[in-house]
Chain A
Amino acid sequence: MAGKTIVITSGKGGVGKTTSSANIGTALAMQGNKVCLIDADIGLRNLDVVMGLENRIVYDIVDVVENNCRLEQAMIRDKRYDGLYLLPAAQTRDKTSVTPFQMKELIEKLKEDMDFIVVDSPAGIEQGFKNAISGADRAIIVTTPEISAVRDADRIIGLLEAEGLRDPEVIINRIRADMVDRGDMMGIEDMIEILAIDLIGIVPEDEGIVVSTNKGEPIALNDNAKAGQAYRNIARRIMGEDLPMMKLEKDSFITRFKKLVGLS
């Protein structure tokens, strides 16, 4: 198999790279793909926690590049899907423990029997970022409707282009239709106008994300959650399907009423 490597990155921290990585990886596995998630945030690992696999880590990515173990030994099989693996980051080391060259080698090896490799990039533009994008075939940038996040996303697109990663795609995360309508939040068109790249998905703000992160269960597994649906759609778009973008719905009168009386 010749898998595709997708790097999930953003520049700015806290916009939802790890959440997006976990959910895209899970949703791709739900579609029957063999997927390996790589946490490239060495020293500040989180992807294992979000995936609910923290207590299964024995070896990590640094052990692999330092030949303390075989690659297969460090890969943690997901508890829900057989085709989903996680290669965790080391927590006690730093970004310089791995070089872009080693990362590339590692990914080449993984590509042999994976359909997709999803790399969760750390925030920033330094070594950790450079490690994460080396070996990537495709980049997805996560941004939120804030000027600072869009500015950083723009910077990242420029850096990706300089590294030869052309035509990245963007996920707009945590958007709130009601605020956009009031003019209190940047709209999707405004953001795409600045970034001038393809939109691969819109993820609405969802309280469920906090709950699912804390429980270690990606929201993509939840059939009723809007955000889960959004990530499942993104996975299908990554596989080449042409799906229309999700309509951002404002709360209907009935749901508002339900909220008011505490039913929803």
Chain B
Amino acid sequence: MASVFSFQAVSDGIVMNFRDGSTFGNIKKAVSFHAAEASDFFTGVNLYLNLSGLELAFEQLEELMEIVKNYNQVNKIYFTARKIKKDEKKDEQYSDAVIINRTLRSGQRVKHQANVVIVGDVNPGAEVIAGGDVIVFGRLRGVVHAGAGGSKNSQVAALKLNPTQLRIASLIARSPDDSDSSKLQAERAFIENDQIMVEKI
């Protein structure tokens, strides 16, 4: 039976991937069997039914819905027809950016799940937290956290990279104590070999 579908965990639930070429009859049989067996294992999670290209009639969907409801206390049930891969889903979240057209001053904070672009300075005492990259067209002197959701591919770039503290994913670095603050020199910080590296652009 297990050959009809496989399970995959995502951040907010479980995806049920149906194999290509499964017939509706097979799916129905497999799901009803599994639902009966699973008891309250799915309590509180979101269930994604990934039909992967399978075309079902409305009545068939309704029928499937009835069966899936037998999973005890599932939070929400979604139907989807795309291949969801854990990493792919994250990349998709990062694909948009928020643009801030002013200087961030002490006590001001920007938090966004995707990329953040700041046209202006980030002053000491200000914070930028982004799920993706942080780009500053100005002097970066506050605290910055790129890849706050854990993405180690994120980077921080600024015309003057002199942050109070720079975090990427779960790594933390700070500017050297003697860094001079006058000259502009575009730099970017990224993770390489589990270390934060800075290079001139």
Contacts and interface: CB of A to CB of B under 8 A. Distances in A.
A152 interface: yes
A155 B125 contact: yes
A153 to B, nearest CB: 9
B185 interface: no
Interface string A114-158: 000000000000000000000000000000000000011011011
A194 to B, nearest CB: 6
Q: B interface, how many residues as a size bin?
A: 10 to 19
Interface string A188-220: 001000101000000000000000000000000
A102 B108 CA distance: 28
Contacts of A194: 121, 123-124, 141
Q: Label chain B's interface by main secondary structure.
A: loop
Contacts of B181: 190
Given A194-B123, A196-B121, A151 B103 contact: no
Contacts of A157: 105
Q: A interface, how many residues as a size bin?
A: 10 to 19
Contacts of B73: none
B60 interface: no
B23 interface: no
Interface string B50-70: 000000000000000000000
A159 interface: yes
A238 B159 CA distance: 35
Interface in A157-179: 157-159, 161
B25 interface: no
Nearest to B102: A161
A33 B49 CA distance: 76
B107 interface: yes
Centre residue among A154, A157, A159, A196 by max chain B CB count within 10 A: A154
B106 interface: yes
A158 B121 contact: no
A179 to B, nearest CB: 18
A117 B48 CA distance: 64
Interface of B: 103-108, 121, 123-125, 141, 181
6 contacts: A154-B105, A154-B106, A154-B124, A158-B107, A161-B105, A194-B124
